[in-house]
Chain A
């Protein structure tokens, strides 16, 4: 009897690695990375600062001063207002005078949150010309 070296029962096909599920694995990895990655959290309120020494003179009747006091009270002109009122007042004033520039004067001791809320309200009112006035105070 001739001894065959060929193992019995095995078909004489070429050996192959199954690649049918490679695509599934790859897409699984893509989806995993997509769900776990955090997309740009960089967001906020934009402002362009004026250049030093390039201050422009604006007529005083075209300036509306919005002030935030030490305790976080908001004043427009001489009137104390609440934060949500700011946008409607500013919108109204802008309607009367489109050239109006808004000077935001914030106390050094005012909470930043209040300043951002007021600035946000000015953005809601679509005020284009907003300037942040640096305030110097004693006993910082």
Chain B
């Protein structure tokens, strides 16, 4: 006997019971995979550069901050170039892929920057990035 005619007339529904589970899963995933920056750094204005590129591996980044008067911090502690060598030597050994991000104010004298670069050479932290913000420079 054919039963085709016996189909019930129900309205079609999309099951939405599990969307909440999916959404919470996403929230938890992002919460776990995000890592927050605890370093406060210094108040600086970054110089502008056209060829600014992003550092892809954020976990390999160690920042050195230089303020307009030439004071330096690493992990929110005041340091000297000699101390930078000591800190970075250790960090390069634990993570050979370390990239040092040099967050220097645009008005700082270059002498302080070159001192830090020499300190990083001594520490064998050879991958350096000058932190810049994207934009056309002011020109001569």
Contacts and interface: CB of A to CB of B under 8 A. Distances in A.
B132 A43 contact: yes
Interface string A120-140: 100110000000101100001
B109 A111 contact: yes
A23 B20 contact: yes
Given A74-B140, A106-B114, A108-B114, A50 B53 contact: no
A3 interface: no
Nearest to A37: B34
B37 to A, nearest CB: 9
B106 A33 contact: no
Nearest to B49: A120
A44 B122 contact: no
Interface in B76-108: 101-102, 104-108
Nearest to A40: B58
A125 to B, nearest CB: 10
Interface stretch (A7-15, A24-32, A58-66, A90-98): A24-32
Contact of A112 (B17, B113, B121, B140): B113
Given A112-B105, A115-B110, A47 B128 contact: yes
Contacts of A83: 137, 139-140
B110 A26 contact: no
Contacts of A45: 49, 51-53, 129-130, 132
A78 interface: no
B19 interface: yes
B50 A51 contact: no
A51 B126 contact: yes
Contacts of B105: 112
A121 to B, nearest CB: 8
B140 A109 contact: no
A84 B27 contact: no
B117 A117 contact: no
B126 A49 contact: yes
Interface of A: 19-20, 22-23, 25-27, 29-30, 33, 37, 40, 42-52, 68, 72, 74, 82-84, 106-113, 115-117, 119-120, 123-124, 132, 134-135, 140
- Shortest Cβ-Cβ A-B pairs, 7 listed: A108-B111, A26-B23, A23-B19, A22-B20, A120-B49, A82-B140, A123-B51
